[in-house]
Amino acid sequence: MNEKINKQMRNIGILAKTHHHLSSSALQKIIDFLKKNEYTYWLEKGCRSICDPQEQEHLVEAEELARKIDVLFVLGGDGTFLYGARLVENTRIPVLGINLGRLGFLTEITVDEIEQMLSLFAQSELLIEERVILKVALVRNNKILAEHKCLNDAVINKSAIARVIDLELNLQNEAITQYKADGLIISTPTGSTAYSLAAGGSIVHPCVNAFLITPICPHMLTQRSIIVPDSYVMSVKLLTAKEEVLLTLDGQVGYPLEKNDEVVIRKNESPILIVRSPFRSYFTILREKLKWGVSD
């Protein structure tokens, strides 16, 4: 899906990383524009420390944002963006990322581009792109203990002092293999440039309908990253006992695992909608972030 921002999107939510020297000025620039163009806007309560005191009436709890807005602006880095994506999951509210530091894979717009971006936003010239997200369930003794969505990845890995762990992978109820490794990463194409890439996984374009399964430091070198259709349901069982093993979702939510726990992963019914940068393509971002073609 590639549709443009709708002119009827008049209710704007703002989430910001407050511990950055550019946060306050970038936020004020956006607020001034929204006021001038008569948008309704709401600020996540954490913005209190970086906004003018007269904006207090616009502050709301993070959990309330999705009920009030049509679009979410995120000021920060990719970690802040992932948190924002969790706030609007299953809502089809587009998320627009503005990076306060170096360009991010998810926060594609720089501080210097804010004014031009806002002008294009008001003209409905920005494109929205669908990104698949994971639906992850932690199952113990046939009971679901927790269920979350994540945009980047679900990671099962040992603590720093634990030994190598054993994991069993099933796809579509078929036993595929057992890993003896430091862990396993199940990633979306969006997350393919995150932990999965560092562990030796492939880069997958966000529009590809696939998931990546990447072992972390496998004992057998023949166990490599696998790309599978995103229609597959995956299950990973922990076979190791008495070791510290953690399930981490998008690097933000974590659960300790016990022997025979299963992590069941499938495609979420609703995607996340991301507002794409009008200034650079996905491959431009790859070249810049990964320094392709740059000589020392």
Q: How far apart are alpha carbons 195 and 191 in whole angstroms?
A: 7
**Amino acid sitting at position 19:** H
**Sequence-separated (6 or more) residues with CB below 8 Å from residue 206:** 129, 131, 188, 189, 190, 282
CA distances from 142 to 182, 222, 262 (A): 25, 32, 9
Asked whether 75 and 108 are in contact (CB, 8 A), the reply is no
C-alpha span between 25 and 179 (Å, rounded)? 49
What tokens were used for 144?
């679901």
Residue (of 6, 37, 42) closest to 27 by Cα position = 42
Q: How far is the C-alpha of 96 from the C-alpha of 57, rounded, in Å?
A: 23
CB atoms closer than 10 angstroms to residue 267 = 18
DSSP-based three-state secondary structure for 11: strand
Known catalytic residue: 78? yes
Q: CA-CA-CA-CA torsion for 239, 241, 245, 248, nearest 10 degrees?
A: 40
The single residue of 32, 70, 78, 230 carrying the catalytic annotation is 78
Helix (H) or strand (E) segment spanning residue 52: none
Q: Classify residue 152 as exposed, middle or buried by CB count within 10 Å of its CB (0-12, 13-18, 19+).
A: buried
Query: What's the CA gap between 37 and 224, in Å, rounded?
Result: 52
Start-to-end CA distance of the chain, whole Å, equals 39
Catalytic residues: 78
